[in-house]
Amino acid sequence: MRTRFALLALLVVVVLAAAGCDGDPVAKQAGAAPVTATTAAPPTTAPPATAPETTPPAPKGLVPAGRRKPAPDLRVTAFDGRAITLAGFKGHPVVVNFFESWCVVCRAEQDFLDEVAKKFDDRVRFVGVSNYDTVSEGRKYQRDYEIPYPLANDRSGRTWAAWRVPYQPVTVVVDQRGRIAWRFDGGLEPGQLDPVLEYVVRT
């Protein structure tokens, strides 16, 4: 009888031991969450920064827009017979060059003026105004230097007086609103007028 009880007890121990070894002990812990694999998000790249557009610094001698005064009236007759008025150039910057065909300094700057006039042909209007030249002298000067813009004459002197021109050459830049933006008394140097017109055209 004792032998049966001993065998039965041994059988119970074996069964309990086998049940305790079945399965993953970690998974059987209370409240344990399942382990899941995670994938790292791909790195993001910011778009390249673009530099904001900036207005170039104003050229030397340029009158600030808030301080510009209206240009005097301009009504002259070109050497080819056309009537030239400042109002006829409305909406465009205008370069008014006061010259004389016999002036040595005027002749020296003429090639520079021609180049700039061609460069800004579709954006800026040009006109040259003489005081003492005759029509024949003016036409010859225009042919000799192949000047691409109209030349005119006002022998009365009223135009030069209205624009306060004491001698030649004098170059005046009028902005799109008919105001004087820049003036230079004397002969122009290469590259002197270009930045002024670039600035006036953009602003």
CATH number of the structural domain spanning residue 122: 3.40.30.10
- Answer yes or no: is 24 within a domain: no
The full DSSP string for 20-85 is HTSS-TTTTSTTPPPP----PPPPP-PPPP-PPP-PPPPPTTPPPGGG--BPPP-EEEETTS-EEE
Question: CB–CB of 71/179 below 8 Å?
Answer: yes
- Answer yes or no: is 195 within a domain: yes
- Answer yes or no: is 181 within a domain: yes
- Answer yes or no: is 68 within a domain: no
- Answer yes or no: is 60 within a domain: no
Task: State the DSSP H helix or E strand holding residue 161, giving kind and residue range, or none if neither.
Answer: helix 158-162
Would you state the pLDDT for residue 25? 41
Would you state the pLDDT for residue 4? 46
Would you state the pLDDT for residue 41? 54
Number of domains in the chain: 1
Domain, as residue range, for 181: 77-202
One pLDDT digit (tens) per residue for the chain, 203 residues: 444 444 444 444 333 444 454 544 444 444 444 444 455 555 556 555 655 556 678 999 999 999 999 999 999 999 999 999 999 999 999 999 999 999 999 999 999 999 999 999 999 999 999 999 999 999 999 999 999 999 999 999 999 999 999 999 999 999 999 999 999 999 999 999 999 999 999 98
- Answer yes or no: is 47 within a domain: no
- Answer yes or no: is 165 within a domain: yes
- Answer yes or no: is 94 within a domain: yes
* Euclidean distance between CA atoms 156 and 173, whole angstroms: 23
Which residue, chain included where needed, has tokens 């902005």?
Answer: 175
Would you state the pLDDT for residue 1? 45
Would you state the pLDDT for residue 56? 72
